[in-house]
Amino acid sequence: MNAQRDVDELIAEAAAAPIDGWGFDWLAGRATEERPPWGYARMVADLMARADVALDVDTGGGEVLAEVPHPPKVLVATEGWPPNVAVARRVLRRVGATVVAVAPESALPFRSGSFDLVVSRHPVRTDWAETARVLRPGGTYLSQQIGPGTMRELSEAILGPLPRPKWRHPEQAVAGAQAAGLRVVDMRRATLRAVFSDIGAVVWFLRKVIWTVPGFTVEGYRSELLALHRRIITEGPFVARAERFLIRATRP
């Protein structure tokens, strides 16, 4: 009875917690994920310090961009999820960035050759033709992206066995960039360990990172959540793996 009450409390707490923005502070002490070895935020900061006009695509809540110590003269960010737009506008005041709401799958609302730097952390998708269009000749694109099969172990714990992922492969990103006329100058990949210590951390993560279990709701997957809770209690923290890759390209 006590164990059931505990799991209900954990799930209810996670189901009620806010998920605005793209920060993961709520998971502190409850889940961890290794960071990629290349230091994306540091790379962005270095490039921003040398740029005049820069764009951050799919900025989320502006978490990475807000930490840039020396922003360029003109700094713009786009975001497609309405709750994040308001968060990003508030957070990015400190670096003088303009946040533009952009509907998913739509073209970038900027003139061709507008930016000497475009960055994007974990974009929903990369429109390579649009990226190349808005870059100036000699401009740089830098992106850290989610690789194929990321968090597959967690997805399968809820959904059961899944087919091999067809999208988000680094090779597809390289081909897309080259087809758009960009020259890929750096490609790196990493497999990172993610650890969930309790079922509340799982619930909150699934609510926030919606592509892990598309259409996830607590009510729709309660039996699977209870089974995973029992697994964590019996075997210890649940371990999954996140796939990341870094791509850097220039417009000749």
In the chain the domains, ranked by start, together with CATH numbers, are 2-250 (3.40.50.150)
Q: In this predicted structure, what is the pLDDT of residue 5? A: 60
Q: In this predicted structure, what is the pLDDT of residue 104? A: 86
Per-residue pLDDT band at 1 (split at 50, 70, 90): very low
Q: By mean pLDDT, which of 16-30, 135-149, 236-250 is the weakest?
A: 16-30
Per-residue pLDDT band at 179 (split at 50, 70, 90): very high
The token duo for 40 is: 């994306």
| 234 contacts: CB under 8 Å, gap ≥ 6 | none
Degrees to nearest 5, angle at CA 186 with 183 and 190: 140
Q: In this predicted structure, what is the pLDDT of residue 4? A: 59
User: Does residue 162 have a pLDDT over 50?
Assistant: yes
Percent of the chain with pLDDT over 70: 98
Greater model confidence, 22 or 113: 113
User: Does residue 146 have a pLDDT over 50?
Assistant: yes
Q: In this predicted structure, what is the pLDDT of residue 145? A: 98
Q: In this predicted structure, what is the pLDDT of residue 3? A: 56
112 vs 240: CA distance, rounded Å: 41
Q: In this predicted structure, what is the pLDDT of residue 111? A: 98
User: Does residue 2 have a pLDDT over 80?
Assistant: no
User: pLDDT digits over 205-248, tens only?
Assistant: 999 999 999 999 999 999 999 999 999 999 999 999 999 999 99
Stretch 82-93: mean pLDDT, rounded? 94
246 vs 189: CA distance, rounded Å: 6
27 vs 203: CA distance, rounded Å: 11
11 to each of 14, 204, 241, 242, how far by Cα in Å?
5, 8, 23, 23
User: pLDDT digits over 23-75, tens only?
Assistant: 899 999 999 999 999 999 999 999 999 999 999 999 999 999 999 999 999 99
How does the average pLDDT of the chain come out, rounded? 96
Helices then strands (H, E): number in the chain?
Answer: 8, 8
Q: What are phi and psi of 179, to 5 degrees?
A: -65, -30
**Which pairs from 87-95 meet CB under 8 Å and 24+ separation?**
87/20, 87/21, 87/61, 87/62, 88/21, 88/59, 88/60, 88/61, 88/62, 91/21, 91/61, 91/62, 91/63, 91/66, 92/59, 92/62, 92/65, 92/66, 94/66, 95/65, 95/66, 95/68, 95/71
Q: In this predicted structure, what is the pLDDT of residue 22? A: 78
User: Does residue 172 have a pLDDT over 50?
Assistant: yes
